[in-house]
Structure 1
Amino acid sequence: MTDAQSIARSAQRITLTAANWAEAALDAIAENGIEAVAVEPLARRLGVTKGSFYWHFTHREALLHAALELWERYETADTIARAESSSDPRERMHSLFRQLANTDQRSERILLALSGSDNTAARSCVQRVTECWRSYVEVGYRAMGMDATEARHWATLAYSTYIGTVRMRRDNPDALPTGSDFNDYLRFLIKTLIPGGVGSVAGNRDAADLLGAARATGARLSA
């Protein structure tokens, strides 16, 4: 190998970041499951040599951990941050449910692949994402005036509805509306999952504590 070739390969390894590898790993998981996270196929996908991988990671599990961490951030901290742009609890819930309903197919496929995997790290990641979402939705219901038990039940129902929709998109997509009909369906879901009779309760200490915990989770994932 000439000096020029050596320099070029070193530059390639440096230019391609660990995040690039993690994104490629997520693409592989979405397409073929967690078993598809392998060094050589990903190197071919990225158009680099295996040396680029070992520049950033010591082994496959380190890459898988980075990919799971990235997906978890997308699904929790990033989405919650968008919902938090509104100070009104009802509008935050609307934003949250709209985002859930419009989740991209890659993210849905990753969720299904990870939840169906025997990999302990993958299943733990899904559990954390699920609980973060469920807790945040519970916060929204508490902020709208529900008591603790009622909010917990509604939050579980809301997240279960989302998971059911994701599975239906995979198993029976023709059963779901498309185009403008989907917007009508979305309005129906939001109307159903955000009861019209619930009023906002300012200064609810328990809801404030829960919201603080949810925000702290988002902050840790963003760091």
Structure 2
Amino acid sequence: MAERKGTPGSLTADDWVQAGYALLASDGMRALKIERLCEQIGATRGSFYWHFTDMKGYRAALVASWNAFLEQDRRSLAELEHLPPRERLSGMMKQLLSPQHWTLERAMREWARSDDVAAANVRAADHRVLVAVTKAYLDYGFSPEDAALRGQATFATGIGVLHLMDSADALTTADRYERFLDLMLAR
């Protein structure tokens, strides 16, 4: 990544990374170019090169940031494990449908369409979340078959919501998610 210390102005490497995620989420992989990033963040190419040696280094920083986010996500899911199943599912939904997830999920899923490493990271994250969601349904008392089906439906709905909402702000309607959870837990 080749981040320098004592960067000029107020921009950080993370500011550039977040701008890249936003650009990926809104306009796709083809938009991830230095010129577009500079427009997105309101800075010069010189500022970009102050933080990154080249676009390859920048993309490596995006992957590193995504992996750090996934590690935090793993810890967050583990922290919910002690909760009763319904509360665990509710907590997972709140985490996975947060504004930060909105940007990152959309960005990484878009990137995964054209990059094998990103695709592998997304598949691994999907598997981990699907296992946790399915386990919560099992712990609630559903049969393995029903738990798997409900887990897949819940996961697919979450991904769909992330892609159907126009902005991260639209994800804040917690009442709808609780109603969805009531529906999924009904027998």
Instruction: Please give the TM-score of this superposition, normalised by the length of structure 2.
Output: 0.69
Structure 1 letter corresponding to 2:185: I
TM-aligned CA deviation for residue 158 of structure 1? 1.5
CA contact (8 A) 2:138 2:144 kept: yes
Partner of 1:58: 53
Partner of 2:111: 114
Structure 1 letter corresponding to 2:128: C
Moved more, 23-32 or 64-73: 64-73
Number of positions where the alignment pairs a residue of Structure 1 with one of Structure 2: 180
Partner of 2:137: 141
Structure 1 alignment gaps of length 5 or more: 1-9, 171-177, 197-223
TM-aligned CA deviation for residue 191 of structure 1? 0.9
Q: Look at both structures and tell me which one has the larger radius of gyration over its CA atoms.
A: 1
Structure 2 letter corresponding to 1:129: A
TM-aligned CA deviation for residue 20 of structure 1? 2.2
Structure 2 alignment gaps of length 5 or more: none
Counterpart-to-counterpart distance in 2, 1:86 and 1:118:
34
- Identity, in percent, stands at 24
Partner of 1:37: 32
Counterpart-to-counterpart distance in 2, 1:96 and 1:164:
15
Partner of 1:98: 94
TM-aligned CA deviation for residue 126 of structure 1? 2.4
Structure 1 letter corresponding to 2:134: E
Structure 2 letter corresponding to 1:28: L
Partner of 2:180: 189
CA contact (8 A) 1:26 1:71 kept: no
Partner of 2:12: 17
3-state SS of 1:84 partner: helix
- Structure 1 residues 103 and 45: CA distance shift in structure 2, 3 A: closer
TM-aligned CA deviation for residue 44 of structure 1? 4.7
Structure 1 residues 37-87: Cα deviation after superposition (integer angstroms, max 9, x where no partner): 222332454454434434443331332232244245446634861782573
Counterpart-to-counterpart distance in 2, 1:138 and 1:145:
11
Moved more, 21-30 or 158-167: 158-167
Partner of 1:87: 82
